[in-house]
Structure 1
Amino acid sequence: MSYGKLASVYDSLMKDVPYDDWCSYVLNRQKRYCQEGKRLLDVGCGTGELAIRLAKSDFEVVGVDLSEDMLAIAQNKAWHENINIQLFQQHMCKLTDLGTFDIVTIFCDSLNYLTSPEEVKKTFKSVFDHLADNGLFMFDIHSTYKIKQYLSDRAYTENEEEVSYIWNCYEGAFPDSVEHELTLFTLDEQTGQYKRFEEIHCQRTYEIEQYVNWLNEIGFSLLEITADFQDHKPDHKSERLFFICQKNASDR
């Protein structure tokens, strides 16, 4: 699922997203698992908020996203901050010709936008193929608990001067899936009028055991699973699950 018109107001809507926590998470796990390499691929990089933070932390960052509009915003941000980031428009399950990396990340539940098991497994394989020996793969997902408890049959609203929205969430067509129906009103500064547009986004998740099985099938070694930016293991009310895997040298 690619962001269209939503890209132009994405940062306004996501101003409270904890990008600094994701950056700290990467740095902490890099140290914990003795990964000294600095070449990092940020898949689903969006408008570049995390990619730029990682580049400022001395990583050599390459960003990939499906949305051309999101990448244009990311490029503009990087240029204004004098940050060198390579950006490519690709689907995460079809990563090609990007080289090899010491770390690959897929954060902000981007993986949940894949709505079939086949796409998830293809993405894991694409990541595996772009990792150097002993490279780390870090990603997060919505838990099934969060999908059912907070993202199904719910409505959220926000009323700001420049951007307002109505966000309706419905149970999706697949098990443990949700459809986000977004109606946004954005202020046109030239006319003083509000423009309305709508987008529909779908997300799907799976039980932890299913992700573990797919990772094992590809050849990853699972290092840890944690929850909600903490070091503790997930419980039945965890909302965001974090996985760290490693590509072993023997898997070449």
Structure 2
Amino acid sequence: MESYTSFAEVYDVFMDDVPYEEWAHYLCGLLEKYQVKAEGVIVDLGCGTGTMTEILSREGFDMIGVDNSGEMLAIAIQKKQESGRDILYLLQNMQELELYSTADAVVSVCDSVNYVTNETELLETFRRVNHFLEPGGVFIFDFNTEHKYRDVIGERTIAECREDCSFIWDNYYYEDEQINEYELNLFIQADREHDENLYRKFHEVHYQKGYTLSVIRELIESSGLAFVTAYDAFTEEAPTAESERIYVIARESGKDVM
């Protein structure tokens, strides 16, 4: 079942507690540390509704947003029209990334990498990132750890009720496959003007893979990228067994024939 179709409509509503500005500040610090020029071309891989893409554009970067959900990109384009920012959006799967030119950096945040649940496809994603980076270009991405899915989220049900939409999120983790499944039932107000008591119900199922840093590093190095370092999210400390989200820094390291 395709993800982020109906959920796209209310994604920003339910994500309004995510500190995007703080995350962007951390990400910009990493870009500066690893010498990505302020006016450089950056690809936001798995950009969703474009919130982070907009912030990075505001910071002066020349942004390209890539996502495989047309519904999410439609909202990103609405934001672009409202802000007037010069952002190019592309409807593509990560593992089929195809750009018109190389980029100074590629970033991928909000655990977008975890949605690539097949290691062969994630390897291809990394290969394509390496191919479209400028020589020495930087790839910065985060991922949720196996520990987070298994020990923190686990078998849980989460529910949230807002004025015009609600959801029930049933979470399951399959340890043998290292797959996290969450089943999402959405209730979205259908016609606020004429009948505020009428809601539409939508159902989506999402899958993410719980990766370990050792697997991620192996895939990076197999792809042609050079592994630089990894951080416990939003710090510059080394990851630990208790890390729930890890940031990885890699660099372009020569090109294979695609």
> Structure 1 residues 182, 155: closer, same or farther in 2, change over 3 A?
same
Find the aligned partners of 2:60 and 2:178 in 1 and give their Cα distance.
Answer: 38
TM-score, normalised on structure 2?
A: 0.93
Long gaps (5+) in structure 1: none
Change (3 A) 1:48 1:88: same
Structure-2 residue corresponding to 1:31: 32
- Describe how 1:6-21 pairs up with structure 2 within 5 A: 6-21=7-22
> Contact 1:75–1:87 at 8 Å: present in 2 too?
yes
State the match for 2:116 in structure 1.
114
Q: Which residue in the other structure is 1:220 paired with?
A: 225
RMSD of aligned residue pairs (Cα, Å): 1.5
2:208 match:
203
Indicate the residue corresponding to 1:41 in structure 2.
43
Provide the C-alpha distance between the structure 2 equivalents of 1:118 and 1:49, rounded to a whole number of angstroms.
29
Contact 1:155/1:168, CA 8 A, preserved across alignment: yes
> What is the alpha-carbon distance in structure 2 between the residues aligned to residue 60 and residue 35 of structure 1?
12
Give the share of equivalent positions with the same residue, in percent. 32
Task: State how far apart, in whole Å, the 1-side matches of 2:245 and 2:175 are.
Answer: 22
Match for 1:135 among 121, 130, 137? Answer: 137
Matched, 1:95 2:105: no
Q: Which runs of 5+ in 2 are unaligned?
A: none
Change (3 A) 1:77 1:174: farther
Contact kept? 2:173, 2:180, Cα under 8 Å: yes
Amino acid at match of 2:53: A
Which residue type is aligned with residue 20 of structure 1?
Answer: E
Is the Cα contact below 8 Å between 1:172 and 1:202 reproduced in 2? no
Comparing 111-120 with 185-194, greater Cα deviation is found at 185-194
Work out whether residues 151 and 178 of structure 1, in 8 Å CA contact, stay in contact via their aligned partners in 2: no
Q: Which amino acid aligns with 2:112?
A: S
SS in 2 for 1:217: helix
Secondary structure in 2 aligned to 1:169? strand
With over 3 angstroms needed to count, the CA separation of the structure-2 counterparts of 1:174 and 1:201, relative to structure 1, is farther
Residue by residue, what CA displacement relative to the aligned partner does 1:45-74 show, whole Å, maximum 9, x if unpaired? 000000000000000000010011111100
Give me the whole-angstrom Cα distance separating, in 1, the residues matched to 2:144 and 2:109: 10
| 1:49-198 mapped onto 2 (5 Å cutoff) | 49-172=51-174, 175-188=177-190, 189-190=192-193, 191-192=195-196, 193-198=198-203
**Number of equivalences:** 251
Displacement of 1:126 in angstroms is: 1.1
Q: What's the offset of the Cα at 1:32? A: 1.2
Residue pair 1:145, 1:238 contacting (<8 A) in 2 also:
yes
* 1:225 Cα deviation after fit: 0.4
SS of residue matched to 2:23:
helix
Taking a change above 3 Å as real, the CA distance of residues 203 and 174 of structure 1, as seen in their structure-2 partners, is farther
Separation in 2 of the partners of 1:104 and 1:165? 32
User: Contact 2:180/2:210 (CA < 8 Å) preserved in 1?
Assistant: no
**How many angstroms does 1:10 deviate by?**
0.4
